[in-house]
Amino acid sequence: MLRAILGVIVGFFVIMGVVDGAIAASWLIFGIDILYNEGVWNVTVVWMILSIVIYLAAGLISGTVCEAIASKGTRAAIVLAGVVLIAGILYAKSQKKTSEAQNQTSRQAGATRYDAMQYAIIPNLSRFGNPVLAVIGVLVGAEIIRRKGAAPVT
């Protein structure tokens, strides 16, 4: 039981760290002009594709970590998936409320990553779809570990 709880907690911190680290890396690699449209805070198609890859990969990694820590056969990955989904939807709803007021904000030259996090205008499909992709990744990552440790069917 304690291993399952620890697996959920560690898995959640892993997914948050991977998402934040990958978004920071994409900011450094691609820059603001590729990730955001010219002069505004609307994200580009490149950002949306990157976010799909990032959230799926983060889910896979965290599901794998959760299942590796928890005893095989527990429902820790399902609990982690539920926590990720609820946290993701709550975060997406909070972003939706603040982004309506930010539509009037134009992007200035020399904007920072903090500015991008604060003013980014993300489409609803991406905002609410990314947590779902992370949940799929969590469940698939946990299943991969589960099958590696499973006894062969005779």
pLDDT tens-digit series, residues 82-102: 999 999 999 888 876 655 555
Of the candidates 113, 119, 93, the one whose C-alpha atom is nearest the C-alpha of residue 21 is 113
pTM given for the model: 0.84
> Which position has the higher pLDDT, 106 or 47?
47
Instruction: State mean pLDDT over 74-84.
Output: 91
pLDDT at 90: 92
pLDDT at 33: 82
Cα-based distances in Å from 125 to 29, 48, 89, 111: 25, 10, 12, 25
* pLDDT confidence bin for 151, thresholds 50/70/90: very low
Number of domains in the chain: 1
CA dihedral 125, 118, 51, 128 (to 10 degrees): -30
Domain range enclosing 98: 2-146
CB 59 within 8 A of CB 141: yes
* pLDDT confidence bin for 19, thresholds 50/70/90: very high
pLDDT at 105: 63
Cα-based distances in Å from 80 to 26, 45, 52, 85, 97: 26, 29, 19, 8, 26
In a domain, 99, yes or no: yes
Instruction: State mean pLDDT over 47-67.
Output: 94
In a domain, 36, yes or no: yes
pLDDT at 154: 43
